[in-house]
Structure 1
Amino acid sequence: MTTNLRDSILAALAKLPGTREFHLHVLVSAPRKHSELYQFAQPRPRTYLQDILILLSEQKTPDSPRILVTAVEACVYVLPATSCALLYVSKVDSTGFASTPSPTSTLVRTLLVYYGSPTTRPVAVDHVWIQLFARAQAQYLFPNSSENPGKRPLGDAKLCAWWKRVLTDVATELNSLITPRPLIRLHYILPGMNELESFNILKSGPTSHNDTHVWNYNHPYSQTEIPCPCPAPGDAQGSTNLGHFIPYFDDDPKSRFMDEIAYITDKDGVKSPVRKRPRKLSHTQTDREKAEAERPPSPKGTQVSPLGELGRVSPDEFWERMSFRQECVAGAVTGFFTLILSAPLPPSDQPTSSPSPLAPQPGQVSSQINKRIMTSLTSGVEFSTEERAVRGTEAIEGAIKGLCEGLKTIPVVPISTIHAPRPLRASSPHDVGGGQTPDPSPYLALPRTPSPKLVNGKRAVPDVSPNPFPEPVVSLETYRSHIYGSVCVSNPPLKEPTEKGVGAIKENSTDNTDASAHVTLLTARRKKKRA
């Protein structure tokens, strides 16, 4: 029997040092058709999307209350045409109430290994792409958690270095788990910096010549060893454009730049739009609608020219221009990271008959449940103090169980009732805190390009055909077997580093001085002159 994601994470958390109890909630939505991942490709590939939301709370003693400490939001896109799955880590956040060591890295690493290993991978694909955009921010998923003195989020360079270490550990673990050895490629780019500058900023150590996990400082779309998720046009007249390479994620700088390349053009090439007075959508068309309407109709069987400059801008030029984007030149170090894995499923795991990729699997929930929990988490509760964090944890965990019991309403604690300050806007993907690094991030409100324009509240991309399968119905049995789980950790505490002649220095200490340290002054001996 294949271990589900919940049990894999609990098994990894059980190995952490210290004594505490973890309570885990894992929400994975049933697959649904999705048309926006490669919306500029011609033709658009068949794509299926699943949402992942992981919430981890901690109980330090049997008598203490639970407090949410870590949350992860991710998406899994499956493209059967190329047998690829694309796992996009959207947001990672912590509240700062976790004990040392923080469980954030263990949780994230287990999630990535679970989808990378063929023995646990829940989707029938041969290749896995893991992508993320790292940008430092004080908070993302936990409102007002930046006001908690115990939360010390990583700064911009340290956050990028953290993600690089996590993906290196994932590649190493996958290489030891999979037989025969899989093909793994690691790519990263820090926009606006060359390879030497990025090497010095991330303080990477020298790489061994025998190390198979060498980081490539470039984008992953120039390599040909592992197929790209989006298939190339099958007809002889078809040609690839930028839309076949760059995936379109929500709240991602690459997606906003793709919109400008496709819909904002000039005779000299791509340029930023000129600020104009706001217009009412009911009286005029948006730029996206105009571009779609101005495209000349093409006879059946002929190739349609790509929108705007998509056919002229290569992936190399795209990444070169990304260095000048607003999100990447705002004074903070940002990074794009990609791990590509090629490891086919074992012959015994190959399905004899191909079931529909839209069929819901046991333990999966409706995508509406994920959305409702995310809305409650980001707007209904807050985590500035321990008391408020306890209330918020009770509300969110009660909401998940209530939805599984069939309740129509979600009991949340309105922020106004506890006189909380207005939460800062959570605008970007990744924050790793938990009290491990005393480096508060100063980047609380980075400039952002405007989101793609909407038509009547929805994207102008045509919707796909409806799902032939009904939404999965969750129950308390689903809740107990797949969604909720807990584990008691009782291991030796983390050893504090010691040095000769110097007292132990706590790993989490914010003070660089140590009262127990004894300083010995050394004097140079004079060399005696020969008589």
Structure 2
Amino acid sequence: MSASINLRDSLLAALSKLPGVREFHIHVLVSAPRKSSSLYPYAKPRPKAYLHDIVVLCSEQENPDAPRVLVTAIEANVFHIPATSSAVLYVSKVDSTGQSKGKAPTATLVRALLAYYADPATRPVDAEYLWVQLFARAQGQYLFPNSAEFSGKQPLTDAKLCSWWKRVLTQTIADVEARAADKAKAKAFYILPGYDQPEAEDLIRVASATAAPLKTGITWFYTHPYSQEGVPLPCPRDADGENLGTYIPWFDDDPKSRFIDEIALITTTTEGIKSPSKKRARTESHSDVSSSKRPESDKSTRSEKEDKPMGELKKVSVDEFWERMSFRQECVAGAVTGFFSVIFSPASTGNPKGGAARSTVSPLAPQPGQVAPQIIKRVMTSLLTGVEFSTREKAVRSTETVESAIKGLCEGMASAPVSTQPALVKNHSGRKTPERESTPPPALLAPPSTPPRRTGKAAVAEVSPNPFPDPVTSLDTYLSYIYGSAAVSMPVADEGSKPAVAVAPVTVLTARRKKKRGD
């Protein structure tokens, strides 16, 4: 399925409406779809899902003679599940450098990206339902190493970040409903673990007190989205009963993923958690006798046990899962965190694109402009380990390094100009040491990372090879789908240039002085 407008052009159209006199340069990388078993690793059986990665980098240039400097980066993943005609868009990370000389384009780019996938007219995957999901956790930096050291960057606090996301998603819903012309509707959900609804609403209200109120009429539900009627879950339900693994999606570096791993991999007894007992070695004669006398019912019973949900997945309901999430360390560590979900579905039954027939194109077929997943991996490695953004000068050099690497990889250069030196990061003693990852400010807790998936029964089976080869990029692909620029020339009016506003006359009543006797 191909959209009428590509993602790059849609983002440029949104940037062209920003105020200021400057030029934006963006690089949009979308990987070709590939098979994935990571979204629902504990479902029985696991649904067929197809994954592609998205990376958006935006740099800013004050004038034609000024250097470019990166100001915004977005990393996201899209999972397509044909069995339920659903797609899941997970916003992994959004970051800014604080180097923008005008209104930062971060919110504009996020809204345009989400609206592109949510609008049935531009959605590039053949799915009727789109689930937008994200986890909001405040940190000094996400994608730009050492950018927290730059004095011009002002990271949002925990409550303000949750308020920012709720506002951006609300505006996105309004944009989509206005563009879709009654072809799509949306339901919005959010949870701030550890807070009940009045407390959460009060936190959001106080955090957004300085922002202009939104008049969209969008209703938010303070609950999880996995018990809604009329909206199918992305993962098909198990035939043998409830399984928490069919409700909770597994995303990289997400608290939900770590929690469901624990639920699936523990074994509980009446005495508590117990390790599995050691197996006794069988003698050859006993093995022969057992195998010859083992009835067929025993073999079927063993097969049924293998198909049952792992650990406590069948005992923990989805409501209990979210109730227990409020007590997780990542949600009660003193900072406000938030889970946000928006479900876009067709406004009426049938295909949301006007009743057109379902596409017969394979969901694994690369679309024009998509790149090999390895290119995105190399670009992200360059961004996260080879550059830094602690000063204006370093940000300019890092921007040139990253943008040159993207162009070089698209042109098929054997060695793109990517720095191999790790970024210098300040440690707690104040000295700078070469490290792989940036250290967050002392005021913020270090985000926990998802451990490697365990082997054994919990391991996800390898998927079959992709029948389509990775797309080969070229300079034409780079210029037509990946790189683009938009110049804006809308000066921001200062206080002295504002037009005079007629003010109605005001009658001032003055108190009459009471005369004293003898005056």
Name the structure 2 match of 1:223.
228
Q: Which amino acid aligns with 2:477?
A: T
Shift of the 416–253 alpha-carbon distance from structure 1 to 2, 3 Å rule, reads: closer
Name the structure 1 match of 2:322.
319
| Equivalent position to 2:343, from 319, 340, 343 | 340
Whether the 8 Å CA contact 1:326–1:448 is kept in 2: the answer is no
Q: How many residues get paired?
A: 470
Give the deviation of 1:225 after TM superposition.
2.1
Name the structure 1 match of 2:446.
446
Deviation digits for residues 293-324 of structure 1 (CA, Å, limit 9, x no counterpart): xxx97566888221110001111111111111
**Bigger shift: residues 219-228 or 51-60:** 219-228
Q: Which amino acid aligns with 1:226?
A: V
Structure 1 length normalisation: TM-score? Answer: 0.81
Name the CA distance, whole Å, in 2 between partners of 1:462 and 1:427.
34
| Equivalent position to 1:257, from 252, 256, 259 | 259
Name the structure 2 match of 1:408.
414
Name the CA distance, whole Å, in 2 between partners of 1:305 and 1:29.
35
Say whether 1:483 aligns with 2:485: no
Q: Which amino acid aligns with 2:459?
A: A
Deviation digits for residues 436-455 of structure 1 (CA, Å, limit 9, x no counterpart): xxxxx764333637624445
Name the CA distance, whole Å, in 1 between partners of 2:449 and 2:71.
31
**Bigger shift: residues 324-333 or 348-357:** 348-357
Matches within 5 A, 1:60-79: 60-79=62-81
User: What is the SS of the residue equivalent to 1:316?
Assistant: helix
Shift of the 442–227 alpha-carbon distance from structure 1 to 2, 3 Å rule, reads: farther
Give the deviation of 1:352 after TM superposition.
6.0
Shift of the 60–261 alpha-carbon distance from structure 1 to 2, 3 Å rule, reads: same
| Equivalent position to 2:250, from 242, 248, 251 | 248
User: What is the SS of the residue equivalent to 1:10?
Assistant: helix
User: What is the SS of the residue equivalent to 2:104?
Assistant: coil
Whether the 8 Å CA contact 1:17–1:494 is kept in 2: the answer is no
Name the structure 2 match of 1:5.
7
Matches within 5 A, 1:54-133: 54-133=56-135
User: What is the SS of the residue equivalent to 2:154?
Assistant: coil
Name the CA distance, whole Å, in 2 between partners of 1:336 and 1:427.
24
Name the CA distance, whole Å, in 2 between partners of 1:332 and 1:390.
33
Say whether 1:396 aligns with 2:402: yes
Shift of the 527–413 alpha-carbon distance from structure 1 to 2, 3 Å rule, reads: farther
Name the CA distance, whole Å, in 1 between partners of 2:18 and 2:364.
37
Relative contact order: is structure 1 or structure 2 higher (C-alpha 8 Å, sep ≥ 6)?
A: 1
| Equivalent position to 1:192, from 188, 191, 194 | 194
Name the CA distance, whole Å, in 2 between partners of 1:426 and 1:319.
31
Q: Which amino acid aligns with 1:480?
A: L
Q: Which amino acid aligns with 1:482?
A: Y
Name the CA distance, whole Å, in 2 between partners of 1:270 and 1:305.
21
Whether the 8 Å CA contact 1:143–1:424 is kept in 2: the answer is no
Name the CA distance, whole Å, in 2 between partners of 1:346 and 1:215.
23
Q: Which amino acid aligns with 1:492?
A: P
Name the CA distance, whole Å, in 2 between partners of 1:345 and 1:393.
43
Name the CA distance, whole Å, in 2 between partners of 1:496 and 1:127.
46
Name the CA distance, whole Å, in 2 between partners of 1:305 and 1:489.
58
Unaligned runs of 5+ in 2: 276-298, 427-431, 499-507
User: What is the SS of the residue equivalent to 1:203?
Assistant: helix
Whether the 8 Å CA contact 2:89–2:131 is kept in 1: the answer is yes
Name the CA distance, whole Å, in 2 between partners of 1:315 and 1:77.
21
Whether the 8 Å CA contact 1:327–1:446 is kept in 2: the answer is no
Deviation digits for residues 411-440 of structure 1 (CA, Å, limit 9, x no counterpart): 223446989834684699xxxxxxxxxxxx
Give the deviation of 1:407 after TM superposition.
1.4
Name the CA distance, whole Å, in 2 between partners of 1:494 and 1:112.
30
Whether the 8 Å CA contact 1:330–1:447 is kept in 2: the answer is no
Name the CA distance, whole Å, in 2 between partners of 1:426 and 1:351.
49
Q: Which amino acid aligns with 2:322?
A: W
Give the deviation of 1:164 after TM superposition.
0.2
Name the CA distance, whole Å, in 1 between partners of 2:305 and 2:272.
26
Say whether 1:385 aligns with 2:387: no
User: What is the SS of the residue equivalent to 1:463?
Assistant: coil
Structure 2 length normalisation: TM-score? Answer: 0.83
Q: Which amino acid aligns with 2:234?
A: P
Say whether 1:473 aligns with 2:475: no
Q: Which amino acid aligns with 1:444?
A: L
Deviation digits for residues 223-245 of structure 1 (CA, Å, limit 9, x no counterpart): 11211111113x4xx21311000
Name the CA distance, whole Å, in 2 between partners of 1:143 and 1:272.
42
Name the CA distance, whole Å, in 1 between partners of 2:356 and 2:39.
26
Whether the 8 Å CA contact 2:31–2:54 is kept in 1: the answer is yes
Shift of the 61–83 alpha-carbon distance from structure 1 to 2, 3 Å rule, reads: same
Query: Which structure has more helix as a fraction of its residues?
Result: 2
Name the CA distance, whole Å, in 1 between partners of 2:512 and 2:154.
48
Name the CA distance, whole Å, in 1 between partners of 2:326 and 2:491.
46
Shift of the 232–401 alpha-carbon distance from structure 1 to 2, 3 Å rule, reads: same
User: What is the SS of the residue equivalent to 1:22?
Assistant: strand
Name the CA distance, whole Å, in 2 between partners of 1:154 and 1:146.
11
Shift of the 199–352 alpha-carbon distance from structure 1 to 2, 3 Å rule, reads: closer
**Bigger shift: residues 330-339 or 220-229:** 220-229
Unaligned runs of 5+ in 1: 274-295, 429-440, 500-521
Deviation digits for residues 385-422 of structure 1 (CA, Å, limit 9, x no counterpart): 11111111111101111011111323223446989834
Give the deviation of 1:272 after TM superposition.
12
Name the structure 2 match of 1:355.
361
Name the CA distance, whole Å, in 2 between partners of 1:8 and 1:450.
33
Name the CA distance, whole Å, in 1 between partners of 2:233 and 2:261.
21
Shift of the 80–353 alpha-carbon distance from structure 1 to 2, 3 Å rule, reads: closer
Deviation digits for residues 55-106 of structure 1 (CA, Å, limit 9, x no counterpart): 0000011111000000000000000011001000000000010122110000
Whether the 8 Å CA contact 1:377–1:396 is kept in 2: the answer is yes
Name the CA distance, whole Å, in 2 between partners of 1:165 and 1:272.
46
Query: CA RMSD, aligned part only?
Result: 3.3
Whether the 8 Å CA contact 1:189–1:219 is kept in 2: the answer is yes
Name the CA distance, whole Å, in 2 between partners of 1:249 and 1:417.
27
Shift of the 324–361 alpha-carbon distance from structure 1 to 2, 3 Å rule, reads: same
Name the CA distance, whole Å, in 1 between partners of 2:246 and 2:484.
40
Shift of the 455–165 alpha-carbon distance from structure 1 to 2, 3 Å rule, reads: same
Shift of the 69–185 alpha-carbon distance from structure 1 to 2, 3 Å rule, reads: same
User: What is the SS of the residue equivalent to 1:413?
Assistant: coil
Name the CA distance, whole Å, in 2 between partners of 1:270 and 1:58.
57
Q: Which amino acid aligns with 1:481?
A: S
Whether the 8 Å CA contact 1:264–1:270 is kept in 2: the answer is no
Matches within 5 A, 1:424-463: 425=437, 443-446=443-446, 448=448, 451-455=451-455, 460-463=459-462
Say whether 1:305 aligns with 2:304: no
User: What is the SS of the residue equivalent to 1:57?
Assistant: strand
Matches within 5 A, 1:285-296: none
